[in-house]
Amino acid sequence: MKAIHLKPALRPSLLLCLESIREAAVLDLLRTFQETVRLGRSEPVEAQRAPWQRAERVAREALEAARARRFSLGEALSLVCLSEVQRETGRLGPALQSAREAYHILQRQPPMLQRHNEALAAYNLGLLHHLLGNRPEALNWYDTACRLFGLAREYWSVHNRPDEARKCRELERWVSRLSRTLASPNGENFSLLIPVPTPDGGPPLVACVRMGPSWKESSVSIDGEPYRILLLPTSQAREVLPTGRDCQIFPIPEEARQRMGGGERDYLLCGPFPPDPSLPYLIVETPEGDEYVPTAKFQRDPSGRVEIEGRAATVIGFYSPFALLRPAS
């Protein structure tokens, strides 16, 4: 089954603008949904389905509350949230239906502020058609999303909201990269699409992972450039792609290249393994982003959360490197 692994900063439901929500009950439920999804990755790997179940319950409660109040904007945003849950849990048919309903409602919302949410609804439809292999429809929705993100960016700029304008610009560039990937000759032949952070903090690149029966028959390309998979000496590496577990790709920090045996153009392919003191570097995922940490002593607080050297940030997940990605040419 195909999958697109999105970070919180790229999830449509977590980017919705809730400023126009005047119904307190609906607003509280939408915020609860976002918090549930944002921190769901902090669950143990074997329990990560539970947050999506909770999120779906909250999304349906928000949808019912909005419909009971005849609040169309709240209904549309709840449908975007519900569609994301359905997409993440493999129910692409219901996800597409929810996404279409959401877009048609948002399309009729007159304030320019809602072009932001309409853009996210179009982006969501593009993701769904991309996963379904409907190339023309996906390209059309990605194009629509880029146009609407441009309108939203202008709105935020006029109203002196530079952070929101910057986010729209980055989303516009990310969706454009998705569109270019899909339009490429092998754009439909993928198992996983993974956003790859750039060292300068700009919009991520697009990595296309094609899984085969073995590592030798799998492949990775980043922005259309093929990469070789060079496994690191870890016994857990064989379990990641064949079982469909979550993977991420990161650039190698300069100070870690020598110890990891990586070059300037290499990347790290990582899996959500528990912390392993034998590895020189881990990537720690927090709600604010990703950071590299040297291997150190790990301890758990009474709630079971892992702490690293007393770091106060909420930890969503640990990613352990298991392969180098090196340009094929």
Residue 120 backbone phi and psi in degrees, to 5:
-65, -35
pLDDT value of position 46:
42
pLDDT of residue 259: 73
Give bridge partners of residue 196 from the DSSP assignment: 205
Q: What's the pLDDT score for residue 43?
A: 47
Q: How many CB atoms lie within 10 A of CB 275?
A: 17
Q: How far apart are CA 297 and CA 24, in angstroms?
A: 44
| Burial label, 235 (beta-carbon count in 10 A; 0-12, 13-18, 19+) | exposed
CB atoms within 10 A of CB 144: 19
Main-chain phi, psi angles of 145, to 5 degrees: -60, -45
Q: d(Cα 173, Cα 22) in Å, to the nearest integer?
A: 32
Torsion-angle region of residue 224: left (phi > 0), alpha (psi -120 to 50) or beta? Answer: left
Q: How far is CA 210 from CA 141, 186, 215, in A?
A: 24, 10, 10
DSSP-derived pairing of the beta strands 248-251 and 225-231: unpaired
Q: Splitting the chain (329 residues) into consecutive groups of 10 residues, what average pLDDT does each group show?
A: 85 95 95 88 51 93 96 97 95 97 96 95 97 94 98 96 96 95 78 84 86 80 89 64 70 76 84 64 64 52 56 59 86
Asked whether 322 and 229 are in contact (CB, 8 A), the reply is no
- DSSP H helices in the chain: 24-39, 49-68, 72-88, 92-107, 114-132, 135-158, 162-183, 257-260
Question: pTM for this one?
Answer: 0.86
Q: How far apart are CA 6 and CA 193, in angstroms?
A: 9
User: Cα separation of 161 and 167, whole Å?
Assistant: 10
Judge whether 13 and 86 are in contact, CB under 8 Å: no
Q: What does the angle CA 191 – CA 100 – CA 96 come to, to the nearest 5 degrees?
A: 30
Give the pLDDT confidence score for residue 218 in this predicted structure.
83
